[in-house]
A and B are shown apart, each in its own frame.
Chain A
Amino acid sequence: MTVDSESRSILVCEDDPAMVRIFQFLLRQNGIKEVLTTASGQQALSLALSHRPSLILLDLMLPDKDGLSVLKELKENEVTRLIPVIVVSGKEAQDQVRQAMMAGAIDYVIKPFEPMELGSRIKSFLERLNASSSGGTPRGLGGVV
């Protein structure tokens, strides 16, 4: 059985309203109706547990908690560990990228980014997710934008 994008929820954890708006725009363009947003890393963990979104877009510099810690906690929790996470961050050092990928992110997008490029990646991810009969986790989107 396939699941369409409209029935999926995506969690955006980002403290910059301008970036939240562009994520919402890109997700809407890909048919996503439910976008959960929070600027708090702690609240992102709670929302991930309660809503089990299909995807999380995660910033690394959050006001209350380091995004990398959020990612690690998501991956250590039995309930949330399989939720795919795309890190979207202004931190461009290779070491940061490596740490995020090692912690379990499926992709790392560096700000500023080309909206069309991120939109394509989200589209590709959703298509693979929707086509997956198990609803499992498509991995290996690969690379750094």
Chain B
Amino acid sequence: MSEGSEAGLDLSEIVGMYKEDARRMIQDMRQAADRWQEVREGGPARQILRRLSHQLRGSGQTYGFRRATLVSKALEQIIQKLENGKLSADERVQRSVATKIDLLNSVFES
């Protein structure tokens, strides 16, 4: 079974629009992650990453994209740990965030 077809209801009418929205959100996430200094300092880029990863976590599996929810959840947890001071925004974390955004992108590529 492919991603996007797991939901019990026929959501085909709205899944196409969702995929477009998701791609835009991922693009915004990538741009935010590129402003790593802002992410490090808790500026607007970090807020964008937090808000969009939270939204994708909630909507992904709801629309049948389970992997989007799993990856977004991991991303949201990283941002929460940055906010709580449990993680420092070093290069390793930056790479991890970039990798997760790439993974998200691959979910909605096709």
Residues of A bordering B, CB below 8 Å: 16-19, 21-22, 25, 61, 90, 111-116, 119
Residues of B bordering A, CB below 8 Å: 7-9, 11, 13-14, 17-18, 21-22, 54-55, 57-63, 69
Contact B57 A18 (CB under 8 A): no
Most buried by A among B8, B13, B17, B57: B8
Contact A19 B59 (CB under 8 A): yes
Contact A90 B58 (CB under 8 A): yes
In angstroms, Cα B8 to Cα A30, docked, is 16
Most buried by B among A19, A25, A111: A111
Contact B58 A111 (CB under 8 A): yes
Contact B8 A18 (CB under 8 A): no
A18–chain B nearest beta-carbon distance, Å? 4
B19 closest partner in A (C-beta): A18
A118 closest partner in B (C-beta): B62
Contact A112 B59 (CB under 8 A): yes
Whether A22 touches B62, Cβ cut-off 8 Å, given contacts A61-B54, A112-B57, is yes
Whether A18 touches B22, Cβ cut-off 8 Å, given contacts A111-B58, A112-B57, A112-B61, is yes
A86–chain B nearest beta-carbon distance, Å? 15
In angstroms, Cα B25 to Cα A16, docked, is 11
Whether A115 touches B17, Cβ cut-off 8 Å, given contacts A19-B58, A22-B63, A90-B57, is no
Q: Return chain A residues, CB-CB under 8 Å to B54.
A: 61, 90
Whether A19 touches B21, Cβ cut-off 8 Å, given contacts A112-B57, A112-B69, is no
Q: Return chain B residues, CB-CB under 8 Å to A61.
A: 54
Contact B63 A18 (CB under 8 A): yes
Q: Return chain B residues, CB-CB under 8 Å to A18.
A: 18, 21-22, 55, 59, 63
In angstroms, Cα B22 to Cα A116, docked, is 22
Contact A111 B7 (CB under 8 A): no
Complex partner residue of A116 from B9, B59, B63, B69, CB under 8 angstroms: B9
In angstroms, Cα B60 to Cα A18, docked, is 9
List, sorted by A's number, 14 A–B pairs whose CB atoms are closer than 8 Å. A18-B55, A22-B14, A22-B62, A25-B11, A61-B54, A90-B58, A112-B58, A114-B7, A114-B62, A115-B9, A116-B7, A116-B8, A116-B9, A119-B9
